[in-house]
Amino acid sequence: MQVHAAPIQFDHFQSKKNDDCQARILAARKKLGKRLVILGHHYQHESVYRHADFSGDSLKLSKYCENLDAEFIVFLGVHFMAEVADILSRPEQVVILPDLAAGCSMADMANLAKVERSFRELNNVLNFDETITPVTYINSAADLKAFCGEHGGIVCTSTNAPKILDWSFKQREKVLFFPDQNLGRWSGYQMGIPLEQMPIWDPDQPQGGLTIEQIKNAKILLWKGHCAVHQMFRPQNIEQFKQVHPDGQVISHPEAPFDVCLNSDFVGSTEYILKTVSEAAPNTKWLVGTELNLVTRLAEQMQPQGKLVQFMSHVVCECSTMARIDPQHLAWVLENLVDGNIVNQITVPADEAVLAKLTLDRMLAAS
C-alpha cells in the first residue's frame, strides 16, 4: 500500500464542490472495500448519511460496534459516539471522526471536574457510594462513563432509560442523572416518581443549589443540562398543529421539555419515532419533535403513503455540531486511508476505556 510522507491536508478539500466530493467518496470506498465500515447517526445530513453502511440511534450503533470486522470504522456522528465505538471495538480497529469539532452541546454541560465536585458535595450530605447510583446518558464524554464505572454506575440511552433507572434503583436508593435533565425527568415520571422528588442539581451552585432536606428527599437528582435542539420545542407548537389537524398525532423525543412530552401522543427514541410513524396507517398526520434532518428524511419517505410529517418548531434547529460532518471531511479522511494515512483517529485512554466499558456492558446487559 502506498504511504504518503505526510497526510493530505484538509485545505485541499475545503473548496471542493459537493458533487466532486461525492464521487471521490465513492471511489475511495471502492478501493478500501471491506476494510472500511461507515456508521451514521440519524441526525446526519443526507449528503453524508447516504454513505452509511449501518445507521441508527446511539444504542443501535453501540451494538454494531461490538461485531464489526472492518479495519477502519468511520463514524458519522459526534465525538462521544466515536469514543463509544473505540471502547467497544477491538484494539486493532481504528475509529475515525471526520471532523473533530463535531461535539455535543449537551455533553459539554457535564464535565469531569464538575461531576467530581458534585460527588464531593453530595458525599458531605450522605455516603455517595452507598446511596447514589450515577447514571450518565450516552451523550457524554468517556471520562464521565469511566466515573460511573468507578462508582458502580451505568450508561443509558433514550431507548432504555426507564430500564436503566430500574436497574439503578435496585443497586441504591437514589440516582444522580446527567447530563440531560429532560430525559431523566420524563423517564422518572414514567416510573411514577413525583416531580418534587426529582429536583435539579445545578453544578455551578454550592451544594447543587439544594438544601440538605431536598437532597435527602430526592429519588433522582437531575443535572442542569439539556439538548439545545430539543429545548426549542414548545406546547404552543402542538396546540397550533392540533388546531389545523385535529386528527393529527404528536410524537416527541424524551430530550424535549417535560410539558412537550406531556402533551405528546407518543414519546420515544429516534428509532421508536421512525418505527411508529413508518408503521402508522396511510394518510395520517404527524408532528415530530426531534432533530430536523431526521424529520426531513422521514417526511420524504412517508410521502408515497400520503402521510404528512411536520417538524415541530417554526425555527430551523438542526444539530449544528452533527452538521459539521460534510462530504468534504468524509472525502478527506477516506482518501487519506487509501494512501495509508490515518487522520482524526479517536482513542480513549486505556484506563478510562476499561471503566467506561464496564458501564456500557452493564447497559447492554440490562437493556
Mean pLDDT over the full length of the chain: 92
Distance between CA 45 and CA 101 in Å, rounded? Answer: 16
Beta pairing partners, 288: 251, 311
pLDDT at 1: 47
Distance between CA 318 and CA 323 in Å, rounded? Answer: 8
Beta pairing partners, 178: 136
pLDDT at 12: 87
Closest to 288 (Cα-Cα) out of 317, 321, 266, 319: 266
180-223 pLDDT, tens digit each? 999 999 999 999 999 999 999 999 999 999 999 999 999 999 99
Instruction: Cis check for the bond before 179: say yes or no (omega within 30 of 0).
Output: yes
Is residue 2 pLDDT above 60, yes or no?
A: no
Residue 201, all three cell numbers: 442539581
Closest to 261 (Cα-Cα) out of 294, 225, 237: 237
Question: Cell numbers 464535565 label which residue?
Answer: 111
The percentage of the chain sitting over the pLDDT mark of 70, rounded to a whole number, equals: 96
Alpha carbon dihedral 58, 228, 344, 339, in 10-degree steps, equals 80
Distance between CA 74 and CA 284 in Å, rounded? Answer: 37
Question: Cell numbers 416527541 label which residue?
Answer: 252
Where are the strands (E) in the chain, listed by range?
36-41, 54-56, 72-76, 94-96, 132-137, 154-156, 174-178, 200-201, 220-223, 249-252, 266-267, 285-289, 308-311
Is residue 5 pLDDT above 70, yes or no?
A: no
Check for a shared fold between 107-227 and 230-311. yes
- Helix, strand, or coil here: 285? strand
pLDDT at 40: 93
CATH number of 230-311: 3.40.50.10800
Q: 3.30.1330.120, 3.40.50.10800, 3.90.1170.50, 3.40.50.300: which CATH number matches 107-227?
A: 3.40.50.10800
CA distances from 14 to 50, 97, 326, 343 (A): 20, 17, 10, 16
223 vs 323, more confident:
223
Is residue 19 pLDDT above 50, yes or no?
A: yes
pLDDT at 205: 97
pLDDT at 318: 55
Q: 3.40.50.10800, 3.90.550.10, 3.30.420.40, 3.40.50.720: which CATH number matches 11-102+322-350?
A: 3.40.50.10800
Is residue 133 pLDDT above 90, yes or no?
A: yes
Q: Where are the domains of the chain?
A: 11-102+322-350, 107-227, 230-311
Closest to 75 (Cα-Cα) out of 43, 97, 53: 97
